Amino acid sequence: MNRISWDQYYMAQSHLLALRSTCTRLAVGATIVRDKRIIAGGYNGAISGGVHCIDEGCYVIDHHCVRTIHAEMNAIIQCAKFGVPTEGAEIYVTHFPCLQCCKGIIQSGIKAVYYAKDYKNHPYAIELFTQADIRVEQVELQEMVIDTKNKEKLELLDNLIGKLTEAGVEDEEVKELYNRANHLFKSYS
């Protein structure tokens, strides 16, 4: 049996955390790891007990949602709240950290940043990571163990089946295709 690598395991965890995001602009997850152990996780969303973007929309000032605490900061704050040291840890993030999160990562003593997707990679963030001797590496999730596009796939499937029906494809054939597709998707819903 082949197991996924540690990098893939932690990145999959970050993608799973992103599914809890309440920001409608971008779902981000972050996992902090020290000595091959997960010590914290976070996703972007409102403060505890606060109004969420999914409920009232994003509160945007200067092109940034100010309602949202970023995933990286939520994970770092979780460590601070429970007295878990981040010195020498690594962080796995679904997207390249913003400039503010970059500074928080550096100040927390995290030694490595692994991210899955480029996202407005700020040149100054890259410069700060280099100055602080922080290892930064892109680690794309190779095998999506978690399907983050399930809703979109189901909507596309419904749309295609509707078009087949409109095009006059036999009801039995459409029903058979629908059942086959439903069987494929049932483990994700």
* 72 catalytically annotated: yes
Q: Which of 72, 90, 137, 170 is catalytic?
A: 72
Distance CA 168, CA 84 (A): 62
Q: Which of 26, 34, 27, 46 is nearest to 10 (CA)?
A: 34
Q: Which two tokens stand for residue 4?
A: 């996924």
> Are the beta carbons of 96 and 115 closer than 8 angstroms?
yes
Distance CA 186, CA 96 (A): 32
> Are the beta carbons of 113 and 91 closer than 8 angstroms?
yes
> Are the beta carbons of 114 and 7 closer than 8 angstroms?
yes
Catalytic residue list: 72
